[in-house]
Structure 1
Amino acid sequence: MIRWILALLLVFSTYNPSGYSWYHWLTEAETKIDPLIALAGVLLLIGWVIYVRASARSLGVIGALLALAFFGTLVWALIHYQVISLSNTTLLTYIVLVVISAVMATGLSWSHIRRRMSGQLDVDDRDED
């Protein structure tokens, strides 16, 4: 749950439709070369690299596609059964951002989940002699 909250924080800090995000801060700045905007951008980039790289290594291409398919189908079902409307683009944007963070959190947590289910460890690092 903590990994998902951190992923939500990362995604929504980068962009969200409310107007309070790094993207809006950058586009509304009088001078585009501002050290605080650059520092925040670098910190966000570090967070994105950590999450995306860990998710890619943990899930792989097939796992990432399956995670996106799962969450995409869930959104499709919500639209199909008229729980949400396609005309509400703000809500759809929020849902897409939550889906992105859920896929990233799944990727970051997948090795732990697999170890609990199977008892097997994932080891990516090896010693080169």
Structure 2
Amino acid sequence: MLGLLLRCLIAFVLLAATYNPTEWNYARKAPALWGEQTPLVVLAGLVLLTGYIIYLRATLRSIGAFGMALVTALVAALIWVLVDYDIIQLNDPGRNTWLALVALSFVLGIGLSWSIVRRRLTGQADIDDVDD
């Protein structure tokens, strides 16, 4: 469980570093710093791209596009229930962005962790698995 939460947290950091409603994100800082700090902007972009490739490739390999859609639908249904019971409100665009970042990080964290979860639930290893 701790591993899943850690993977979700790292996915959240990756997503929030790329874009969030504050001014402290790559999408807003990169254009402003392009002329004076171009190498740093390129390096940061490549680091983010590497993180996305790792997460997306692992997620697509473990649960596939259908699985990603299913986990996204489950998260969306959970948000719908929370809104319906007035536990959360969707009237603030900034809060909605943070909520979307949390939802997407959960999808990516589940995708990265799915092979481990499946192996523990079923006792079956994926074909890619090697000795643990």
Q: TM-score w.r.t. structure 2 length?
A: 0.87
Say if 2:7 and 2:113, in contact at 8 Å, map to a contact too. yes
Which piece of structure 1 moves more, 75-84 or 58-67? Answer: 75-84
Q: What is the RMSD of the two structures over their aligned residues, measured on CA atoms?
A: 1.7
**Does the 8 Å CA contact 1:12/1:97 hold for their aligned counterparts?**
yes
In structure 1, what is the Cα distance between the partners aligned to 2:84 and 2:31? 35
Paired residues for 1:3-14 under 5 Å:
3-14=7-18
| Unaligned segments of structure 1, at least 5 residues | none
Instruction: Map Cα deviations across residues 37-74 of structure 1 (whole Å, 9 max, x no partner).
Output: 11000000000010001001101122111100110111
Deviations 1:5-61 (A, max 9, x none): 211111111111111111111133362871101100000000001000100110112
Match of 1:36 in 2: 40
In the alignment of these two chains, the number of paired residues is 125
Structure 2 unpaired stretches of 5+: none
Query: Is 1:26–1:32's contact at 8 Å kept on the other side of the alignment?
Result: no
Q: Which amino acid aligns with 1:20?
A: W
Aligned residues with identical type, % of pairs: 39
Q: Following TM superposition, by how much is the alpha carbon of 1:89 offset from its aligned partner in structure 2, in angstroms?
A: 1.0
